[in-house]
Structure 1
Amino acid sequence: MRVLLTGSSGWLGRFLAPQLRSVGHAVTGLDVAPGPETQVVGSVADAELVARVFGAHGIEAVIHAGALHKPDIARYPAQHFIDVNVTGTLNLLEAAARARHDRFVFTSTTSLMISQAIRDETADHAVWLDEESGPLAPRNIYGVTKRAAEDLCRLFHLEHGLACLSLRTARFFPEEDDTHRDLSGENLKANEFLHRRLTVEDAARAHVIALERAPQIGSETFVLSAPSPFARGDAQALKEDAAGVITRLFPYAPGLYARRGWHLPARIGRVYDASRAERVLGFRCETDFSRVLDALRTGAPLPFAHDADYVSPQVRAEARPMR
């Protein structure tokens, strides 16, 4: 198929475009920043540009991975989030409906599931989060606009029969966390594979599978995260003594962590349940916490990316001096 991939210069796009080509798709990349996987530089908020791209490249399906993200809140006003994340999604959906497409894959986020209470971990147990969790009360403009975009996808399925799958991805960014500084980047990322992280390679593979399966599934939302080793019955213990639960499941973990100067989490406040993606979409992450421990035991490279100096292509492009 001739696939339009938005966000093609971003962290996900640079991994997703080659995976799409490897299974036979022709990929047209659209991004506000130039990059090796981007053929068209521009914004999805520009409806005329979107229409031209559809016509010029004979687009047959869309993977909409482009968006403003949570770190962008410090750089852009709320209106810009609405223009890009909501109006941009609407522009793509309308173009897909006009072209009578049969599939549309939307990159969403688990962030829209996190209310302020969940963020502050006010519960006395780890909160289990899956596709049925709610009521949803996103805590920032990023989450609000991604939830609105999901609703647009659902609406276009109902009104136009367009198969729309929304993939709520957990964390896969390579840079340092912008809110947690108590652990080193690699240590924090390793811990998150227990309950709220996946690799960018797994995220890309999920999108390829979603593109293939969308017409058979219709309209669905999936949480994407590495499979958690925890059971719902562990919820209270995870909040009180997460390290103890982890040690029970992985007795060798404390020793492996100690050798590296790392720390297991003292408590875990939320767990993403990705079991529906495995049951319905047929997708399961290849990298999980046990793979991280295997790497620590054998001395192999860690099975995830960490780059403390990573800067998004959009920020780099905006920082370039005008000529």
Structure 2
Amino acid sequence: MKLLLTGSSGWLGRFLAPKLEGIGHKVVGLDVAAGDHTDVIGSVADRGLIDQTFSDHGIEAVIHAGALHKPDIVRYPNSAFVDVNVTGTLNLLEAAVQAGHDRFIFTSTTSLMISETVRAGRAGGAEQAFWLDEEFGPLKPRNIYGVTKVAAEHLCRLYHKLHDINVAVLRTGRFFPEDDDTLTVPSGPNLKANELLNRRLTVEDAADAHIAALDRIVDLGFETFILSAPTPFLRADCKQLMEDAPSVITRYFPEAKALYEKQGWVLPDHIDRVYDAGKAERLLGFRGKTDFSSILKALAEGRPLPFQHDPSYISPKEAL
């Protein structure tokens, strides 16, 4: 298929584009910044550019991974988030419908599920970890990023209803390579390893999930999926995860404590949320290849950690 991939110069795009090309798709990359997989420079908010790109390249399906993200809040006004995340999504949906497409893949975020109550967790008085699946709600996003991504999801749902285009909304957990912009202890690889228990996936797995959605959504209509590494936890663990996470972790992974101590790492003392990616496995046939057990295996064997970590990473659009 001739695919339009937005955000092609971004972190996900640089992994997704070659995977798509490797299985025979023709990828036309669109981004505001130049990149190895970007053919069209410009914004999804520019409807004329979108129409021209569709016309010039004969686009047959869209993977819309371009967006302003949470770290961009300190760099861009709220209106820019509306222009890119909402109007940009509308432009692509309208163009896809006019072109007669049968599928549309939208990269969303689990961040829109994190209200102030969820974010506060134990500090806010929560007695157990929040179990976050696709039925969790009501959604009360805490910032302009989450608000605009919810709005874009609603547009996707509306265009499916009005025009019967099949849409997969992929709420991805964390896969960025840089350090967290708010947490400092633990930091770096230790934090990323911990997060694979409950809220992170690798960028490679995120790319594979998009490919699975592209293949499967035509038989599903409109569906929303949470994407995260397979969690070892059960709902029944949620209370103890908030009270004493290390005891739950070592119950599933008896070797974890010693391997972490050898590395000079720490396990989380509590876990306040767990992303359940089971629906993606059931309906898309997608299950992340890298999970917490992969981390422990790498530590035990002295191999490189199976995820990307680059504290110096800067989004290409910020290097313009």
TM-score range, shorter chain: over 0.9
Report the Cα offset of residue 184 of structure 1.
2.4
Q: Could you list the per-position Cα deviations for residues 119-171 of structure 1 after superposition, in whole angstroms to 9, with x for gaps in the alignment?
A: 01131100000000000000000000001101101111000111010000000
Q: Does 1:87 align with 2:87?
A: yes
Residue of structure 1 in register with 2:96 after alignment: 96
User: Within 2, Cα distance between the matches of 1:96 and 1:230?
Assistant: 39
Residue of structure 1 in register with 2:73 after alignment: 73
Residue of structure 1 in register with 2:157 after alignment: 154
Q: Does 1:294 align with 2:297?
A: yes
Report the Cα offset of residue 26 of structure 1.
0.2
Residue of structure 2 in register with 1:59 after alignment: 59
Q: Could you list the per-position Cα deviations for residues 46-101 of structure 1 after superposition, in whole angstroms to 9, with x for gaps in the alignment?
A: 00000000000000000000000000000001000000000000000000000010
User: Within 2, Cα distance between the matches of 1:214 and 1:28?
Assistant: 21
User: Within 1, Cα distance between the matches of 2:254 and 2:164?
Assistant: 50
User: Within 1, Cα distance between the matches of 2:179 and 2:17?
Assistant: 24
SS in 2 for 1:106: strand
Which aligned runs of 4 or more in structure 1 are off by greater than 6 angstroms? none
SS in 2 for 1:120: helix
* Aligned pairs (5 A) from 1:128-277: 128-277=131-280
User: Within 1, Cα distance between the matches of 2:79 and 2:91?
Assistant: 16
- Matched to 1:171, the amino acid is R
User: Within 2, Cα distance between the matches of 1:24 and 1:212?
Assistant: 13
Q: Could you list the per-position Cα deviations for residues 251-298 of structure 1 after superposition, in whole angstroms to 9, with x for gaps in the alignment?
A: 110000001100000000000000011011111000000001000000
User: Within 2, Cα distance between the matches of 1:11 and 1:154?
Assistant: 26
- Matched to 2:272, the amino acid is G
- Matched to 1:292, the amino acid is I
* Aligned pairs (5 A) from 1:36-55: 36-55=36-55
- Matched to 2:95, the amino acid is A
- Matched to 2:213, the amino acid is A
Q: Could you list the per-position Cα deviations for residues 29-61 of structure 1 after superposition, in whole angstroms to 9, with x for gaps in the alignment?
A: 000000000000000000000000000000000
SS in 2 for 1:20: helix
- Matched to 2:129, the amino acid is A
- Matched to 1:23, the amino acid is I
Q: Which moved more, 1:116-125 or 1:66-75?
A: 116-125
- Matched to 1:49, the amino acid is L
Q: Which moved more, 1:53-62 or 1:207-216?
A: 207-216
TM-score norm. by structure 1 comes to 0.98
User: Within 2, Cα distance between the matches of 1:58 and 1:149?
Assistant: 24
Residue of structure 1 in register with 2:10 after alignment: 10
**Structure 2: segments with no counterpart, 5+ residues:** none
Report the Cα offset of residue 248 of structure 1.
1.1
Percent identical across equivalent pairs?
A: 65
**Structure 1: segments with no counterpart, 5+ residues:** 318-323
Residue of structure 1 in register with 2:30 after alignment: 30
User: Within 2, Cα distance between the matches of 1:238 and 1:78?
Assistant: 36
CA RMSD of aligned residues (A): 0.5
Report the Cα offset of residue 23 of structure 1.
1.0
